[in-house]
Structure 1
Amino acid sequence: MNPKARAWDLGYAAGWRLVRALPQRWAIRMFDIAADRAARDGGPHQLRRNLARVLSTVPEEVPDNLVHASLRSYARYWREAFRLPSMNPVRLAEIIESSATGLEHIHEAVERGRGAVLALPHSGNWDMAGVWLVQRVGSPTVVAERLNPESLFRRFVRFRESLGFEIVPLTGAAIPPFEQLIARLRQGRIVGLLGERDLSGTGVPVTFFGEPARMPAGPARLAIDTGAPLLPVHCWFTPEGWGFRVGTPIDTACGVQHATQALADRFAAGIAEHPADWHMLQPVWTADFTAGQLARGHARRNTPH
């Protein structure tokens, strides 16, 4: 293991052990200080570029206070992630349900025995949505990107399994992840997927905030192949808790491309309402990828499967 990877692994290990042992006010202060430092000199350039699309402006015109608020929101996500194993899941579910909307769409899907595909952007604390599912519906199945080093990946798997999630690795499993997700949906289970960032380079072309981007085909493909409803979900932070909205099912009758575009539009509406809580520090739009990255994505899309 190279020293940098080892340092990341040790850092996350320390986070889960130490942060949850701190008094709440100390933990808040520590993570806010880290966010404030990250916001110096304009904050991360890619975050600013992404927020510029949301605001229909140029990166230089994105308000510094929005970048600052976004980084504090991102820091809050990690603070809560480190503290979640010691938090009361029953109480968390009660708090989430007290302000959540659209939960009937999930209950209706489960009652019909078809399961449901929940598609979310990287907004707010999506792990909290999973905690609610575990307490009120059943264990959700989620996909995990394989991290380097392997020990860090296993650490994240153990964390989410401790919350009650079933984890399917994106790569490296004996059974392809798509087949595993299909099987869970046919059992009437819930599948949750983060859906606005294309990790494979083989995603569906969409228009997102007026510019070309690619998004994963998985959510729409799973819904079409199983008959499970495709439900867009948006999470955000409130001063005292969490916002959680489940939208009406996406129409999948016209195919993957149409459904993925509809999903992109729903994501955009939620992000526009809560831009500070969209934790996207990586490229999303086609214009932000290098020529080499675009070429590799093109090669994958044209490789026979």
Structure 2
Amino acid sequence: MARIPGLGPVRETLTDAGYRAGWAAIRYAPDSLARKAFGNVGEFFGTRDGGPDQLRRNLSRVLGVPADEVPDDLMAASMASYARYWYEAFRLPSMDFATAAANVHIADEEVAGFSAELDKGKGLIFALPHSGNYDMAGVWLVQLFGTFATVAERLKPESLFRRFVEYRESLGFEIFPLTGGEQPPFAQLADRLRDGKIICLMGERDLTRKGVPVTMFGEPTRMPAGAAKLAIDTGAALMPVHHWFTEGATSRLTVGAALDTSDGVAATTQRLADAFATNIAAHPADWHMLQPFWEADWSQERRERLANPGRGGNAGGASS
């Protein structure tokens, strides 16, 4: 198909306008009605024509079944969960953050465990997959411990990227761009850790050409090296985190024990992949992975990029 000149910029402008409208409109809608409407729309798209094909393929790996045997009710629940993420993202700027944080539940002993790591003064790295609502989990963290640093994937157009940065900064996060910043984010994140601060990184989707080969649910893929490398370089504890949805506006958060980093980046990243897999298997509907994740699903373009690596960040990213 011939490319239409100028269509890319037009699409980007429309995308930016759509997000802007969502943030403007949803905050004023009645919560119960809007939340239900988003869920219903998500369920519809989860079952229409079998739901998103790539999501079905990804869930088939999690369940260990052929793609055509992924239950329709799981597809519906997964897209309803994804819709809830977007509803809460649009709603969060107008919410009372203390109330939002109170709806995130975590075991007291887990808070005590990572607080003890933080008290060592070497900083703390939370790594989490795209599950539940990582922004809501971040609001909970800010309410208890103050700001933390994270990384944002650079989106197009630039106005949309700035909108997401401003959104997350309004929640109390410190944002470093994955690419295109004054300096690569790795050094800035390392500085925060050496100051005894917390950083949070989305840990399962490799946005660069420097990912670490890992096996997840029995198939090869790659994950960002940044979390493991930062932990090794700074001595900060690296702890896997998982967030998932429960009834209504409530959700759960779990923080695993600090990972062993003694045998290098590759082994540490595999341990992180194993921790993610355990939690994703327990809550598959809330893993919002609609993109190709495993090697078997990669495009030829991505395979060529990996075969000819160029410059890229290595700190992992918080994707939007």
Q: What TM bracket, shorter-length normalisation?
A: over 0.9
Q: Displacement, 1:128?
A: 1.5
Instruction: Tell me if 1:6 matches 2:13.
Output: yes
**SS at 2:306 equivalent:** helix
Give the whole-Å Cα distance in 1 for the aligned partners of 2:149 and 2:198: 6
Give the whole-Å Cα distance in 1 for the aligned partners of 2:301 and 2:10: 27
2:77 to 40, 47, 69: 69
Give the whole-Å Cα distance in 1 for the aligned partners of 2:27 and 2:226: 35
Give the whole-Å Cα distance in 2 for the aligned partners of 1:214 and 1:147: 21
Aligned to 2:216: 208
Instruction: Tell me if 1:275 matches 2:284.
Output: yes
Aligned AA (1:291): Q
Q: Displacement, 1:97?
A: 4.3
Unaligned runs of 5+ in 1: none
RMSD of aligned Cα (Å): 1.7
Aligned AA (1:192): C
Give the whole-Å Cα distance in 2 for the aligned partners of 1:255 and 1:106: 22
* Equivalent residue pairs, number: 304
Q: Which 4+ runs in 1 deviate beyond 6 A?
A: none
**SS at 2:207 equivalent:** coil
**SS at 1:124 equivalent:** coil
Unaligned runs of 5+ in 2: 1-7, 315-320
Aligned to 2:119: 111
Deviates more, 1:134-143 or 1:27-36: 27-36
- The verdict on how the C-alpha distance between 1:123 and 1:100 changes in structure 2, with shifts beyond 3 A counting, is farther
Instruction: Tell me if 1:41 matches 2:11.
Output: no
Give the whole-Å Cα distance in 1 for the aligned partners of 2:12 and 2:301: 24
Aligned AA (1:285): W
Aligned to 2:23: 16
Aligned to 1:93: 101
- 1:107 and 1:137 in contact (8 A); partners too: no
Aligned to 1:255: 264
Aligned to 1:221: 229
- The verdict on how the C-alpha distance between 1:151 and 1:115 changes in structure 2, with shifts beyond 3 A counting, is same
For residues 197-239 of structure 1, what are the alpha-carbon distances to aligned partners after superposition, in whole Å with 9 as ceiling and x for unaligned? Answer: 1111321111100011110001000000000000000000001
Q: Displacement, 1:106?
A: 2.5
**SS at 1:168 equivalent:** strand
TM-score (norm 2): 0.91
Q: Displacement, 1:115?
A: 1.1
Aligned to 1:138: 146
Give the whole-Å Cα distance in 2 for the aligned partners of 1:183 and 1:71: 38
- The verdict on how the C-alpha distance between 1:110 and 1:268 changes in structure 2, with shifts beyond 3 A counting, is same
Aligned AA (2:298): F
- 2:78 and 2:287 in contact (8 A); partners too: yes
Aligned to 2:192: 184
Instruction: Tell me if 1:25 matches 2:20.
Output: no
Give the whole-Å Cα distance in 2 for the aligned partners of 1:255 and 1:208: 18
Q: Displacement, 1:92?
A: 2.5
Deviates more, 1:195-204 or 1:225-234: 195-204
Q: Displacement, 1:28?
A: 1.6
Give the whole-Å Cα distance in 2 for the aligned partners of 1:98 and 1:186: 27
2:174 to 161, 166, 169: 166
- The verdict on how the C-alpha distance between 1:96 and 1:157 changes in structure 2, with shifts beyond 3 A counting, is same
Give the whole-Å Cα distance in 2 for the aligned partners of 1:49 and 1:68: 14
